[in-house]
Amino acid sequence: MRKVFTALFSFVRSKSGSINLPKPLYVEPAFTLYYPDMVYSNPRIAEVDLLVIFEGGYACVELKRRASRAAEDSLKYFVISLAQQPVFYAHSGSQGELGTVHHPTPFLVPWEKLRQQLVGDESQLSSYVESIAEGRKELFPLDNFLRLLLVYGSPSVCEALLSSPFLSRLSEKFQLVKTRFSQICAVKLIPCKSDPPHQAQGASGGPAPERVEKIVAVIPTLNSEVYQKLVAEAIECYADRISAREVILTCTRRSERDAVGILEMLEKSGRVQAYKEVVESGRGKDLEKAWAERISELCETSCVALFVGEVPKGVLTKLAESFARGERKPKLAVLVWKPKLDPERVIGCLKAGDLTETEKEVVLNVVEL
């Protein structure tokens, strides 16, 4: 059953250092996994320069400028006994420096030869990377989870999850999800309902942003100066994008400190006119109601309500109810993490055999509802 996976392990290494691998179904450069907590922090779990997907398994390839670095890096994989991650290394430097290495050497091959075998048609890879990057802008947390399943999930868990009705619906709706489904099915040897698409289509681009004048940001307690800074940067970036020049930061007494922190940063850069407004519970009104009503009042026609962090759920449900009653219904937006991946840069780095600086960070971005 796992004949191809077995073939991967019994690959032939010739005297010139090249190897003969079975033909991969997919090759994904700059494959990064994050812990699935997408609210505040995004600690990276693993970074793989090239994830090579075969029927029945996958291989991780690390690209090294210097062959001697491969030996050091390979030590970190020694403890992973059951995680099924055969790692081999490709280097774009000279073979001669290996004589000075003090560790056992991992399986190391010249990148140029491996590139010809794995990548083949570069334009095909380029369009695949572009479609993945585009899809991840829209579906970052979900795609991250499907990647986790691809790498760590047991076949039985994957099979049970992939057959669930909602995930099946998502795979019909989003090309990225469909691609991940077929990759998971191939790696775990699960019968796949959909045809395996070899090249995914990019996600559909949204409409051009409408002009708005004012952003009403809803600031709950954040408890982190780093997060305040990220929020301020995201607001500025968004204001630039939609040509808004005024930002109102609504907060409560509890979250006032965070609003002040963001306000100071916005004032310092001076790109938008910003001020804060503290909402308090009024006579006969609880704080949730008072806050929801104030947001609704502040949001006029050319305005966007931007929700940051963990806004109290009561405020959100009350706003949804007031919009449904036909009261003001502004444009709504939320802050979410998105990966910073430049497909052209990835392809360029891949040619050079060095992917160390590709998807190094995720940034907070505004997404409109």
Partner 1 sequence: MSSSYSVAPLALKLVRRFSPKEKRLEGLLARLKGLRGEAHWVFLQTHGMWTAGTEGELTVEIAQSGETTLHIDHRDYKLVKALESVPLFHFAVDKLAVHKQGKDEVSPWGVHIRVKRGELAQPPSESVEVSPLAFLAATAGLHRLARSCRLQAVQSALSKEVAAALLGASASRYKAFLELYGVRDGDEVLGALAALSAGTVKASRMPEEALAAELTTAREPPRNVRAYRCLLEHLIQRRRPEVGVRRVEGGLQLYSKSGEGSSQLNEALQAISREVLGRLETYQRVLEELKGGVRGNELKLAVGFSEQMGPCDLYMIASIVELIGLSGRVEATYVLATPLSYPMAAVSSLYAALELEALGRVELVLASEDVAVSKALAEYLADRAEECTLVYLAAGPTPQVLALSVELKRRLGDRAVLIPLAPKPAAAT
H/E stretch holding 368 reads strand 362-368
Determine, following the binding rule CB under 8 A, whether residue 222 of this chain makes contact with partner 1.
yes
Coil, strand, or helix at residue 167? helix
Q: Which stretch binds partner 1 (CB under 8 A): 34-42, 89-97, 107-115, 185-193?
A: 34-42
- Angstrom distance (rounded) from CA 118 to CA 53: 10
Residues 304-343 interacting with partner 1 (rule: CB under 8 A): 307-314, 316-317, 319-321, 323-324, 332, 334, 336
Binder among 4, 167, 237, 278 for partner 1 (CB under 8 A): 167
Q: Write the interaction track for partner 1 spanning residues 89-128; mark x where CB under 8 A is met and - where it is not.
A: ----------------------------------------
**221, 259 in Cβ contact below 8 A?**
no
- Angstrom distance (rounded) from CA 136 to CA 145: 12
Binder among 99, 166, 326, 357 for partner 1 (CB under 8 A): 166
With CB under 8 A, what is the number of residues at the site for partner 1? 78
Binder among 117, 126, 221, 273 for partner 1 (CB under 8 A): 221
Determine, following the binding rule CB under 8 A, whether residue 39 of this chain makes contact with partner 1.
yes
CB of 188 to partner 1, least distance (A): 12
- Angstrom distance (rounded) from CA 168 to CA 79: 35
Q: Write the interaction track for partner 1 spanning residues 13-32; mark x where CB under 8 A is met and - where it is not.
A: --------------------
Determine, following the binding rule CB under 8 A, whether residue 154 of this chain makes contact with partner 1.
yes
**325, 293 in Cβ contact below 8 A?**
no
Structure tokens at 250: 């609504």
Residues 224-253 interacting with partner 1 (rule: CB under 8 A): 224, 226
Determine, following the binding rule CB under 8 A, whether residue 281 of this chain makes contact with partner 1.
yes
Q: Which residues contact 304 (CB under 8 A, 6 or more apart)?
A: 212, 214, 215, 216, 242, 244, 330, 331, 332, 333, 368
- Angstrom distance (rounded) from CA 81 to CA 122: 34
Determine, following the binding rule CB under 8 A, whether residue 287 of this chain makes contact with partner 1.
yes
Structure tokens at 289: 């109601």
Q: Write the interaction track for partner 1 spanning residues 129-148; mark x where CB under 8 A is met and - where it is not.
A: ---------xxxxx-xx--x
